[in-house]
Structure 1
Amino acid sequence: MTATAETRAISPALFGIGTVEARFSYKIGPTIAGRIGQIRVDVGDKVQAGQVLAEMDPVDLDERIAALDAAIRRAEAAIQAAEAQVDDATARQDYAQTQTKRYEQLWKTRAVSEVAVETKRQDSQVALAALSAAQSNLVAAQQDLQRNRADRDGLIKQRENLVLCAPVDGVIAARNAEPGTTMVAGQAVIEMIDPKSLWINARFDQIAATGLRKGLPAQITLRSHGGASISGKVSRVEVLADSVTEENLAKVEFETLPDPLPPIGELAEVTVALPELPALPVIPNAAVQTVDGKAGVWEVEDGKVHFVPIRVGASDLDGDVQVMEGLLAGDEIVVHSASRLTRTSRIHITDKPAELFK
């Protein structure tokens, strides 16, 4: 069977294997060490943002909050007492100042002795010191109240953090512990995903990945959907490649989420349509042979065949490959032969490949 090289553009495609992943996943756990009190959801449950998923055992937090409430009330009473002391000390200091001024006027007329004036001055200074002490006590009581309120607010926030809520609408993906289990700070009790953010973490051979970029259309085949093809597009090409497997990584998202949703970790086949290439001579990929370590084709000329080395370029999924050097448009080549060809082989051209192998 023969074919003729023809000049035309081809649209190559890139084939890769990937796994279903969630773009946004959430690990929900306590911010302090504690014991799980109850869990209200199970794997597969759909939850809404703000919904309570689990609660940690508060241990003595409620009692500590109650103790701080009592301390706050005591500090408020201390402030009232300190304010009363300030009022009393202020009145005494005002009276002492008035008496001092009165005795100073009387001293000018020699109605009182100088000793009496000094005594009143001393009384005024004592009253001023008492006022300063009362004001300091008031400031200390106010600071005690502020500290107790801050401690109480901190405990209330800790108490609120013991209630584990869903940050967004999603689906429960994992339940890592059961009630009664002691968890450390930051350890995940519940894992959930946003089902609207599913995509494929795909891997492509680096040799064939030329032209892979964001926005290219793709077809996704999931094992759980009977081989049906689902439309998608390349969402992101990763900057870091896998140096061990020599593969480039890309994220491929669904244009429309499949129903039912595939499980996380399911294998998927991804075919990315690359941009159309410039027109060049194109031949069937099956015609390319290797002779004496060189890639080429058997060209038919005047009823005889001779081997022509060629340099091939990109290929598409239809089995066509571009010829960069070695052939021209219109050259006739052998695609299939009943036996291995040599330069002395006699050929009979047929359009029925199956007859070659009878």
Structure 2
Amino acid sequence: MTNSGRASRLDTIPTAAAGGGAAAPSTPSLEAERALHFLPQARERLPGHVPAAPEPEHKTLPAEKDATAPAGGRGLVSRRPPSRPRNPRRRAFGAVIVMFLVAGAVVGVRYGWPRVAEHYPILPQALAVEISGPAILDAINQTSVAATIPGRIVTLPVDRNDVVKAGDVIATIKSDDLERQLAAAEASVESANLAVRQAEAEMRSADAAQQNAQESHDRLQKLVSSGTVTQASYDAGLATLRKAVAEHAAAEAAVARAEAEHKAAISNADVQRTYLDDAVVRAPIDGVIVSRSRNAGDVVSVGTAIVSIVDPKSIVMSARFDESAIASIHPGQDAALVFPSRPDAAIAGSVLRLGREVDNETREFTADITPKTLPTNWALGQRGRAMITIETKDNVLAAPSELLSRRDGQAGLWVASHGRAHWRPVTLGEVGDGRVEIRDGLQPGEILLKRDRLFEGMRVHPPSATS
């Protein structure tokens, strides 16, 4: 039997029903579909059949399935013809072209597009040479007001930032015991005064008795010479005189003792009065109260600090400099002081005095600088920076310090040349007034550049120019 005959016979084979041997009724379309399903298997069983090479797997897209499937039934499986292989050389060439275009655009934007940069022409001018160092606000005349007696603070009428004069009341300490002690001392003075008066009265009485005894002795002495009176009478008169002299001496000693006791009582009263006066704490100098460490009601002992007073006229900036600069600084030199709170507002000053000791570790010495004015708000210990002008140099090239940059430790500046930026190494000199001397590397009239980011060959123009 031929293959076509067998195939035609197989096309007519009915399919069995799922539940038994009875043939299920079928329509011509269903029969054809079933025949197509079993046809490949039947061909494989034919003698001499050579299996065909497997076709490349092709995944049918959902859209293709929908297009080939009839409504309400299974569609025939369609196979998409294989795509044509792509040329890898063409893809690589296209990528190279794109890379060249991107690189050209980057280079064009980097070196062809002009950027705005500030221009600074450098010309010969005077330069005030300065040396600078850290400084701390301090005061030469300052004092800590402390209690000199123990007790409880009753009143404290002052506070920080108050301006006081010498003798103004700072605080009052409770002094009931001192008042009683002073009263007792004053009573002792009065008692000693009465004792002096009594001793003086007794001395006057002794003086009168001595004078009377002396006169009696003189009469007896004349009478005994003439034999009018006996020797015994004369001896009795002499004894009376001696007794009167002794009593007079005792009276003088009593007066001296009473006067000494009176002086001691007065001194004791003065001491008690001083103690009582110390209960009222007073300002020793004119100045401003910079701190208050106690409040009313606090108990203080001798030496307990209550407030601190500073004389504003004695305020200085104590600056530190390297010992190598000690020969360049002299009293009277001009100086400028800058505080971090107002870095753009320098305060003029002058050198007052130099320290005579060098720190063993930092090798620095101090110099006190008197400011001509003080900031509105200041505080002792406030940090700042002091710049002292040590000389003035004429006709030098000086660049703003903020324009300097470094490459591998070499200082340099960005210079404009034919509209492009170029970094140039320079040799630096003295520093002063926010500028630095350029000793080598620049010529008068050249233009320095300032911009947040500069690179070699950048096209630049000043802010007022247009590209």
Which TM-score band (shorter chain)? 0.7 to 0.9
Question: Is the CA contact 1:5–1:282 (under 8 Å) kept in the aligned structure 2?
Answer: yes
Read off the aligned partner of 1:15 and give its amino acid letter.
S
Give the deviation of 1:188 after TM superposition. 2.0
Contact 2:404 2:411 in 1 (8 A): no
Q: Quote the Cα distance in structure 2 between the aligned partners of 1:287 and 1:222.
A: 24
Structure 1 residues 82 and 295, CA gap change in structure 2 (3 angstroms): same
Judge conservation of contact 2:398–2:437 (CA < 8 Å) in 1: yes
Give the AA of the match of 2:230: S
Matched, 1:18 2:135: yes
Q: Are positions 1:250 and 2:367 aligned together?
A: yes
Structure 1 range deviating more: 152-161 or 68-77: 152-161
The superposition leaves residues 108-137 of structure 1 with CA deviations (integer Å, 9 ceiling, x where unpaired) of 343332212211111111111111111111
Supply the AA of the counterpart residue of 2:437. V
Is the 1:27–1:189 contact (alpha carbons within 8 Å) kept by the matching residues of 2? Answer: yes
TM-score, length-scaled by structure 1: 0.75
Partner of 2:431: 315
Q: 2:384 aligns with which of 246, 254, 268?
A: 268
The structure-2 alpha-carbon separation of the partners of 1:195 and 1:111, relative to structure 1 and needing over 3 Å to count, comes to same
Size of the aligned set, in residue pairs, is 334
1:52 to 169, 192, 212: 169
Give 2:243's aligned amino acid.
V
Deviation digits for residues 11-42 of structure 1 (CA, Å, limit 9, x no counterpart): 22223332322332121123344443332211
The 8 Å contact of residues 242 and 249 in structure 1, kept in 2 or not, is answered as no
Separation in 2, partners of 1:51, 1:318: 47
How has the CA–CA distance of structure 1 residues 256 and 280 changed in structure 2, closer, same or farther, with 3 Å as cutoff? closer
Within-5 A mapping of 1:322-341 = 323=439, 338=455
- Contact 1:4–1:283 (CA under 8 A) maintained in structure 2: no
CA contact (8 A) 1:35 1:56 kept: yes
Aligned to 1:304: none
Q: Is contact 1:39-1:179 (8 Å) kept?
A: yes
Three-state SS of the structure 1 residue aligned to 2:338 is: strand
2:155 aligned partner: 38
Where 2:392 maps in the other structure, the secondary structure is: coil
In structure 1, the partner of 2:53 is none
Greater CA radius of gyration, 1 or 2?
2
- Which residue, 148, 156, 176 being the options, matches 2:265? 148
1:52, CA displacement in angstroms? Answer: 0.6
Partner of 2:239: 122
The match for 1:303 is none
* Distance in 2 separating the partners of 1:353 and 1:316: 27
- Which of the numbers 324, 332, 351 marks the counterpart of 1:215? 332
Question: For residue 349 of structure 2, what is the aligned residue in structure 1?
Answer: 232
Match of 2:304 in 1: 187
Matched, 1:92 2:92: no
Q: Distance in 2 between matches of 1:104 and 1:209?
A: 95
Q: For the structure 1 residues 328 and 262, does the alpha-carbon distance in structure 2 shift closer, same or farther, using more than 3 Å as the test?
A: closer
Conserved? CA contact 2:339–2:383, under 8 Å: yes
Residues of 2 paired with 1:118 and 1:39: CA distance? 78
CA pair 225-30 structure 1, distance change in 2 beyond 3 A: same
User: Do the aligned partners of residues 282 and 349 (structure 1) sit closer, same or farther apart at CA in structure 2, a change above 3 Å counting?
Assistant: farther
Name the Cα RMSD after superposition: 4.1
- Unpaired runs of 5+ residues, structure 2, are 1-119, 414-424
Between the aligned partners of 2:216 and 2:300, the Cα distance in structure 1 is 71
CA contact (8 A) 1:211 1:275 kept: no
Shift of 1:209: 7.1
Equivalent in the alignment of 2:278: 161
Q: CA deviation at 1:149?
A: 1.1
**Match for residue 256 of structure 2 among 132, 136, 139:** 139
Following superposition, the deviation at residue 173 of structure 1 comes to 1.2
Q: Distance in 2 between matches of 1:287 and 1:73?
A: 86
- TM-score, structure 2 length as denominator? 0.59
In the alignment, is residue 70 of structure 1 matched against residue 195 of structure 2?
Answer: no
RCO comparison, higher one (Cα < 8 Å, 6+): 1
Distance of aligned partners of 1:253 and 1:261 in 2 relative to their CA distance in 1, 3 Å threshold: farther
Over the matched positions of the two proteins, sequence identity in percent amounts to 26
Secondary structure of 2:386's partner? Answer: strand
